[in-house]
Structure 1
């Protein structure tokens, strides 16, 4: 919403200087004091909110102040207020930035002096020019710096239970738009502030409904009652801040869209988790591919903000001791990955708008008590605080104004640094290796090779192509990010503090794509074409006929294509070769698919859509060489206490167009599972067998999660008349019956341990690994049964992504249950005894075995593992027959965050061959 130029000029004249006298809103101030629990939590800067005659304050608009006890606003109310600001103030502009999975809108709100709002496109163009040093010389950059303004992006509401920032930002926006306080006026004139008011609108509305439905007015904070709605977005819960590499969720796409439109100099994301205000720098180790300038900016800006907060008299602010600065996949790291500056705050939140006595006396960060006085926490608060919603608002607003003030006073330096970081990345591409990365188009899964190229492009990395390969030239502004994504990570083994998240993200290994690193250019650069759109591999059909062969390499989209084929032609027959077969001159490996009773048009359609190559064949396969593929009826189970990884599983299935039914505890208790489903997938869940069986404490029930007129955002993506309780022992027994009656149960990571402990797969026992430290890393695995259907298309050795999850093992006499192991060395009890045996001739060591030992490869491919000897040789995938069915137990998550896509085909294999895994 732009005001026209004449109106803008008129407003500017009226608002300039002291023509418009500013009356302080004493009623608003009084309410701030009323809802703040201690004068130490009340900074003076929040007590000068103007009472503007034409621009409504939150009090005038809503009838209560921001941070009022018991008051929250849904997204349309929040957006409505910003629209009112834009209508009444020439300093405010609002624009839509896409829609969520459920159709709620993303907005950005821009605040600056009226002249900057009028010239917003100009200022965006200036930062875009600074972003690419190939187009802007240092001399040109100097001229731009004289005419550019820093763009400061502030976002809130990524995590739905962290409820202070979306409310606070409305008050901040009003203050920035109308206040003539010197500090605020300086910000408005020298900085373009971009506000993302509610980053996750679906989750926000669900959580607001949850607050009003369940948690408002509860007298004790830590009473065991769930403080969060079971779902936030349609798919992803807290991991919506772990999607910065995949860019798979709409929230992430909106963040990236905003970055590449505005090229903000700084991005500040507002969170809530720790007392009382944390300002990010992190303990390190820092990501190796973040420019040292950015690392220094983190320190300078954090210390500036700490000093400003201290100057306001607020206790409990700290830096350094929380988080590390390594993992590049957070949403706000779009800034750090692209030569900008990404940072965040954490404040103390109550998951609502109530006041609670909060006890953090035992909380520790970097080994120190959170209430201790340290060099990084100069003014600690007391270990217990009576903490209100308004306290939270005061703290966050004080910090953000301090940071905006820093940008207002140091804008030229921030902009110069922004340009210099891109320049440094470009120069590294010129002066250092690698000079290029090449991705051959013809690979075991060519669709994934094209997908990798597209993912790099989504990150703003330039990708070229010729007939045979995609090429990433490193002489470009985002060279550092390209190298980070395409080469293995090496996390320091001696790091003092544990990592905050996963520590490896090498995309070629995660996608199963071969990428070559080139230290010199051995190709004709002038012959390369710059890709403008993400490439998509379109599969081909060769020949004509009614029998089609797909040579199988565990391509990611095969199962999807089979479902699509059956949807278009229910009479189509799908057959599989269970073992190596010779067809004329061709040697077809186990897993090769044969399609019959279909035609070239139908096969061509799925080939094109799913990136698969089919060949017509006249070979007369013998009946004994083929087995029918019966596509399964699939269910994905979710609990009501943790939906994080179940959401990723659903997203993966939906993206791959694999049909499924979502089920919960009531479905398990109802029984007759085998009559409804062939396969049940239980994704990773949080907790142990006790929690899985009993679920949310029934003392809180009944707790409906249903859509009502009063709570319209509930009941999606699933609903229940009562969230409390779990499947109970009846549900566990019904799961057992499902498997015994011929079903396939697939368990991922700790759900495998849960069902082992629950007695469903007693052949597997948890393994104690007291010294193993295995943060999310890419490691080497070995197939122990390469001819098993679950491993069709996989080589003997391949990569897996694994974090600090539980381990399982079978007794030695049951080791044939193990399909895949970690590492390529056996367990100690599997190493053949090669010493002298009394009463028998002394054995000679076989040369083949010695040679095999010499070829053993390192376990860690990317990342870091401490005391890896505790895991090498243990099982990563088990197949356990139970009655007429099977349990396929993974001790890692092959559907982790839609990231380790190289591993997902093991799940797709299991679904394709669900009814003959035991054969």
Structure 2
């Protein structure tokens, strides 16, 4: 044996002896036992935590173990511990992955054996090669697989109230670095573990402050007290796990960045909701564009993990009966959409570190009691459990270790499957249609065309272009995702269990962009250029003259362009055409804008900065056809008990560049609203009029949400000295006065039903339906009053995105208040009677339509059951309120920054706020 090899061998022997000589940290183990409430919740595999001489355990670092009663850690403390691990061990690498909206860092923690860490870039390169079968043949893939390791990505803390996993992962990281248990050693040697310790740091720190400020030590879990801070991130609450199509929030951008850097073979997202440990597979129906290999992996890995948890004697682990597997917009679905494998856990959680008696005896999933013994739940727990923070951590950790061990012992299989899924996608692109999609650059809203091209790029889909079109060829690794995004979804009506979320996401319909699917490539591919930079539509200015005309087609950027113009030039005169008008021999539709006292530079800024085409002219325009645009002072209302959709509204306004003021219950109670605002936006909220009027129960008050030295993360994005209570009837009356004095109230979805219940939208009444089931689908709507300013730029019929929102209607004599209806057929009470009317002369009968003549299908993408119950009912209403107006939407036109085609109805209402009452 050569000297060098002798030295290496001696070092390896010494390292092995050191590991074997390491003793168990008895103090840590005893604390685990102390904080676990039942022996069956106490896995023996977690009772061997190492007392390492140089790498600090959580006990040595913090002075207490993970899962200690009453203790959770802020992100600075969590990141500090990982930093200490990285400093103490060469097996830990820590890297920043971006910043949150509040400028906290996102981190990833990478753990593997020394060889893995030394060759980390090599392994990332290997997986990148496997990700693109155009560059890697099957034979080359086999060689790469033999010199590769699966990357297993584990994330936690996406939902702030789910507080166990971010704590657990610190203990798991310590185990992965120090333990010489057979399973841990196999994981360390054969897997590169990537940990996202806190997916949403802003929300986590707010929730930790909330726990210490309000919920720590409460005697009962179900006492009505709000367990969550009112805000998580700056904009998005629970929907931060519904941003995978938009990729609008910093959390999602960080997740995507991590995926495309590491190409994880598996991504596991850790959540908390159902008892005691759910391991995802879903009931189906599964997304049609997820490779069957992935669907099969879900089953194998889910059952493997349940078996491993059960093997340790731990009851309550199950699979199948929760969630479906259809909608592709969850954060972790970046994996399933890109030929990897995305999974999640749901562990029972207490929204903090207290112990409670939890009763789930009536909880059901897929029709079965959560405590029943089923094929998918082989060992149920009792219907009541005395549940601690440490119990939660035990369950999640055992499950994750089992899942990592599966990857360690099946690495080549997972890597081969990863390659094969990309290979299958490319082969489908070669052999199946559509072979390509073409998107004309010149359309109704060219800026949205560019946006669609960019959104495809964000998903890793290759986009090409020529002078007139964007072109997307199907022969590429993410072909399945491409076809899924650009073609309609068809959710099976006979599905036994309800869908978990929306069931349609066809981007061309949501964006209002025409896309042509090509079954054959009938154009010159060699003339195409890869789109490497973001697509931008720069508007053009044509003609000559001192007046600029902006032809209106309900473009999304018009309103922000007008605000920008007035900010730059207060003397600019903006007028709007109230009807179709001929100017200089050209016809312009209602809603087209006339800009005067605007110089060439300002016009150019509008065209290039907002993607709008302008025409300059000296033609005379009749003042009879014009009305002056007075841009409104806008308020967006938020409650303190449900900030989800208000956050999306704020994000949309800020992203579009539309100024607004955020208001709450105290502003309504203070009154004088019309002196401050012209329009108040009332976003969708949950609940009913009682919830809106009363807000958070005053028996819990006062409850400040203010930034203090002790609770530094509170007070943003809104602050109050007392969250409890609502606007009360005084605030409701002040809101009514705002409308009566000439203000405009715009309500979305369930908020419209609340205003109807409160009598502010008094002409509206709820409609009782039997069996209508309308999960988020794209449907057809018909204009009832196409001359309404709210519908400027829209045709006689168009598509909308609608979920299970309220169904409202007016009395028959008030149907002129309905601007838009769902579907094309009339309501039964609107069908014209064609029989004989006694006392009147016989009428000439109107010919009925032939039986084979029928209106287009109501559903464009998704599924609606018993659609006859909704067709003919109103989707948008314009209701008088004194001198003002209520514009009531029975869907959300600003849903999750997705349905951009629908949102110009809101922008129309803002542009024309003082012209809605003709």
Relative to the length of structure 1, the TM-score reads: 0.98
Contact 1:544/1:600 (<8 A) preserved? no
- Asked if 1:612 corresponds to 2:635, the answer is no
Report SS of the residue matched to 1:731. helix
Matches within 5 A, 1:492-531: 492-531=492-531
Report SS of the residue matched to 1:888. strand
Q: Which residue is 1:185 aligned to?
A: 185
Deviations 1:663-698 (A, max 9, x none): 000000000000000000000001100000000000
Q: Which residue is 1:106 aligned to?
A: 106
Identify if the C-alpha distance between structure 1 residues 15 and 599 changes in structure 2 by more than 3 Å, giving closer, same or farther: farther
Detail structure 1 runs of 4+ shifted over 6 Å in the superposition: 7-13
Report SS of the residue matched to 2:69. coil
Q: Which residue is 1:629 aligned to?
A: 629
Matches within 5 A, 1:120-139: 120-139=120-139
- Asked if 1:168 corresponds to 2:164, the answer is no
Structure 1 position 501, deviation (Å): 0.4
Matches within 5 A, 1:409-558: 409-558=409-558
Q: Which residue is 1:694 aligned to?
A: 694
- Asked if 1:857 corresponds to 2:852, the answer is no
Report SS of the residue matched to 1:48. coil
Matches within 5 A, 1:169-568: 169-568=169-568
- Structure 2 gaps of 5+ residues are 1-6
- Asked if 1:900 corresponds to 2:899, the answer is yes
Deviations 1:597-621 (A, max 9, x none): 1111001112111110111011111
Report SS of the residue matched to 1:878. strand
Q: Which residue is 1:4 aligned to?
A: none
Q: How many angstroms apart in 2 are the aligned matches of 1:462 and 1:164?
A: 39
Q: How many angstroms apart in 2 are the aligned matches of 1:844 and 1:551?
A: 44
Q: How many angstroms apart in 2 are the aligned matches of 1:561 and 1:737?
A: 31
Q: Which residue is 2:76 aligned to?
A: 76
Q: How many angstroms apart in 1 are the aligned matches of 2:740 and 2:8?
A: 74
Structure 1 position 835, deviation (Å): 2.0
Matches within 5 A, 1:872-911: 872-911=871-910
Q: How many angstroms apart in 2 are the aligned matches of 1:693 and 1:117?
A: 57
Contact 2:20/2:180 (<8 A) preserved? no
Contact 2:781/2:823 (<8 A) preserved? yes
Deviations 1:783-833 (A, max 9, x none): 111111000000111011111111110000000000000001110101111
Deviations 1:52-94 (A, max 9, x none): 1100000000000000000000001100100110111111000
Q: How many angstroms apart in 2 are the aligned matches of 1:824 and 1:165?
A: 50
Q: How many angstroms apart in 2 are the aligned matches of 1:455 and 1:17?
A: 54
Deviations 1:228-284 (A, max 9, x none): 000000000000000000000000000000000000000000000000000000000
Identify if the C-alpha distance between structure 1 residues 867 and 12 changes in structure 2 by more than 3 Å, giving closer, same or farther: farther
Q: Which residue is 1:818 aligned to?
A: 818
Q: How many angstroms apart in 2 are the aligned matches of 1:17 and 1:546?
A: 87
Report SS of the residue matched to 1:246. coil
- Structure 1 gaps of 5+ residues are 1-6
Report SS of the residue matched to 2:51. coil
Structure 1 position 843, deviation (Å): 3.6
Q: How many angstroms apart in 1 are the aligned matches of 2:251 and 2:82?
A: 20
Contact 1:14/1:20 (<8 A) preserved? no
Structure 1 position 545, deviation (Å): 3.4
Q: How many angstroms apart in 2 are the aligned matches of 1:472 and 1:18?
A: 57
Structure 1 position 18, deviation (Å): 4.9
Structure 1 position 543, deviation (Å): 3.5
Identify if the C-alpha distance between structure 1 residues 15 and 787 changes in structure 2 by more than 3 Å, giving closer, same or farther: farther
Q: Which residue is 1:869 aligned to?
A: 868
Q: How many angstroms apart in 1 are the aligned matches of 2:747 and 2:166?
A: 38
Contact 1:636/1:663 (<8 A) preserved? yes
Identify if the C-alpha distance between structure 1 residues 661 and 13 changes in structure 2 by more than 3 Å, giving closer, same or farther: farther
Relative to the length of structure 2, the TM-score reads: 0.98
Q: How many angstroms apart in 1 are the aligned matches of 2:444 and 2:207?
A: 44
Q: Which residue is 2:59 aligned to?
A: 59
Q: Which residue is 2:3 aligned to?
A: none
Q: How many angstroms apart in 2 are the aligned matches of 1:752 and 1:627?
A: 29
Q: Which residue is 2:32 aligned to?
A: 32
Deviations 1:606-665 (A, max 9, x none): 211111011101111122121000000000000000000000000000000000000000
Identify if the C-alpha distance between structure 1 residues 582 and 69 changes in structure 2 by more than 3 Å, giving closer, same or farther: same
Report SS of the residue matched to 2:438. strand
Deviations 1:13-39 (A, max 9, x none): 753465662111000000000000000
Q: How many angstroms apart in 2 are the aligned matches of 1:337 and 1:574?
A: 46
Q: How many angstroms apart in 2 are the aligned matches of 1:525 and 1:584?
A: 41
Report SS of the residue matched to 2:382. coil
Deviations 1:717-756 (A, max 9, x none): 0000000000000000000100000000000000000010
Contact 2:19/2:180 (<8 A) preserved? no
Q: How many angstroms apart in 2 are the aligned matches of 1:586 and 1:9?
A: 87
Q: Which residue is 2:913 aligned to?
A: 914
Report SS of the residue matched to 1:195. strand
Q: How many angstroms apart in 1 are the aligned matches of 2:436 and 2:871?
A: 35
Q: How many angstroms apart in 1 are the aligned matches of 2:685 and 2:577?
A: 35
Contact 1:425/1:477 (<8 A) preserved? yes
Q: Which residue is 2:92 aligned to?
A: 92
Report SS of the residue matched to 1:854. coil
Structure 1 position 876, deviation (Å): 0.2
Matches within 5 A, 1:782-797: 782-797=782-797
Q: How many angstroms apart in 2 are the aligned matches of 1:126 and 1:845?
A: 76
Structure 1 position 43, deviation (Å): 0.3
Q: How many angstroms apart in 2 are the aligned matches of 1:240 and 1:736?
A: 34
Q: How many residues align?
A: 912
Q: How many angstroms apart in 2 are the aligned matches of 1:493 and 1:19?
A: 58
Report SS of the residue matched to 2:753. helix
Q: Which residue is 1:595 aligned to?
A: 595
Q: How many angstroms apart in 1 are the aligned matches of 2:321 and 2:179?
A: 35
Alignment RMSD, CA only?
1.4
Q: How many angstroms apart in 2 are the aligned matches of 1:492 and 1:759?
A: 39
Structure 1 position 839, deviation (Å): 3.9
Contact 1:453/1:470 (<8 A) preserved? yes
Q: How many angstroms apart in 1 are the aligned matches of 2:51 and 2:885?
A: 69
Q: How many angstroms apart in 2 are the aligned matches of 1:382 and 1:15?
A: 45
Contact 2:270/2:346 (<8 A) preserved? yes
Report SS of the residue matched to 1:850. coil
Q: How many angstroms apart in 2 are the aligned matches of 1:633 and 1:735?
A: 15
Q: How many angstroms apart in 2 are the aligned matches of 1:14 and 1:792?
A: 78
Deviations 1:873-913 (A, max 9, x none): 00000000111100000000000000001000000000000
Contact 2:278/2:346 (<8 A) preserved? yes
Q: How many angstroms apart in 2 are the aligned matches of 1:769 and 1:675?
A: 41
- Asked if 1:716 corresponds to 2:716, the answer is yes
